[in-house]
Amino acid sequence: MRGAATLTLACIGLAGCGGGTDDSEGDLGSAAVECRIRAAPRLVIGGLEPPAHVFGSIVGASVLPDGRTMVLDGQALEILVFDSSGTVQARYGGEGEGPGEFHFLGGWVLEGFEVSAHDPRLGRVTTYDLRTGDFRTALPDRVSNPRAHLGSSEGGWIFHSLGLGAIPEGGGFGRHTQRAIRVDSTGAILDTLGVFPGRFTGWVDRERGVSDGPTFGPDPSFATAPGRAYWASGDSALVFGFEGGETVEIRWDEAPRPVDPVEFEAYRTRWLNENPDNEWGRRILDVMPVADAYPVLFDLVADATGGVWVGGYPVPTEATRRWTHFVDGAPVCTVEGPAEWRWSAVGPDWIAMVGEDGAGAPRVEIRELTRSGAGRP
């Protein structure tokens, strides 16, 4: 979860934040790769339409084995379970320092009916059984980075943390250092899966702080499934993975695209005209230099059936984004969809997406995913 200012800046980096998705009937995808997304959502949760539910901020969402939907609300600090009609069935957690409560909802991982959530402020991981409400707590207190993402491994956890390097004197480009580490249930580090610099999301100076922008790319990406983890810097098409107890490399056939300064200036002007009251964004865009190339990757999402989905970076003029599913390092399926879709989890026949409705209210959409023929993993 990020603060309000950072959320605003993340919107600068997208080709149209919010606004919902295409609710028309039909399929999205390519018959050549035999993988399709149903355009009309199977279920929508959030917003003012019945059954109404107002989220503060959505950390993540997924579908449980019995078809119910789980959503983590980073503002209410709750884990919610919804039935097939979108009605709340159960709430777990809540704000506080007591047993099962949270001060911050960070990384999370779902294994069957059990969801584990990392709270860096309390230095613990809480695991809830969403069938019974029972929970247990582990204390991996050596991993306190609030930007850490969480995965699971046998007898412990996989963490991916981001550390900001030194701020350049007088301002300039900054970089994150990414660390993927495996720890046991006490927080003791078992091994380091990877350490490498990642492209930072923007321009840094001591007065304005850290800025995001469409030419600097998203945060380094991380995705997990039980016993698996994937991470990437976004600068290149190289994705690292931890599968079967080994670190692997996945190469996506995608090259960086050059930034057209004239095109970017038109985007900058349009954004400022459409957001006249966003002073934070205006300060950033006034000083933000233009990079030579856009990032390659936008995000990673682990597939419950195996492998990882890699999402391309949509430049400001593009309304769609391409996602490719890799299994054993090879592409097996490709789909395209609206750029504003943010994928949270992928199952055998569904995708959980997080976004906003036309009024800017956070919502979750569950869409049908079909796989067939040679493209099926």
| pLDDT tens sequence across 45-103 | 997 777 678 899 999 999 999 999 999 999 999 999 999 999 999 999 999 999 999 99
Domain residue limits, the chain: 4-371
Arithmetic mean of pLDDT, 191-205: 59
Residues, the chain, total? 377
Q: Please, what is the average pLDDT of the chain?
A: 75
- Lowest mean pLDDT across 20-29, 117-126, 130-139, 305-314: 20-29
- The pair of three-digit structure tokens given for residue 240, joined into one six-digit string: 């690292």
Distance of CA 105 to the CA centre of its chain: 14
Confidence of residue 206 (pLDDT cuts 50, 70, 90): very low
Residue 373, Ramachandran bin (φ over 0: left; ψ between -120 and 50: alpha; else beta): left
Model confidence at 231: pLDDT above 90: no
What are the contacts of 271-274 at 24+ separation with CB within 8 A? 271/12
Q: What is the pLDDT of residue 12?
A: 27
Q: What is the pLDDT of residue 350?
A: 95
Q: What is the pLDDT of residue 173?
A: 52
Q: Which residue has the tokens 């998705």?
A: 21
- The pair of three-digit structure tokens given for residue 354, joined into one six-digit string: 């997080």
CATH class of the 4-371 domain in this structure? mainly beta
Model confidence at 363: pLDDT above 60: yes
Distance of CA 197 to the CA centre of its chain: 19
- Taking the CA atoms of residue 58, residue 62, residue 67 and residue 68 in that order, the dihedral angle to the nearest 10 degrees is -30
Q: How far apart are CA 269 and CA 162, in angstroms?
A: 32
Q: What is the pLDDT of residue 77?
A: 96
Arithmetic mean of pLDDT, 153-168: 62
Q: What is the pLDDT of residue 354?
A: 92
Model confidence at 16: pLDDT above 70: no
As a whole-number percent, the residues of the chain with pLDDT over 70 amount to: 68
Q: How far apart are CA 164 and CA 153, in angstroms?
A: 26
pLDDT digits (tens, 9 = 90+) for 260-286: 778 777 777 887 888 788 776 676 666
Q: What is the pLDDT of residue 256?
A: 75
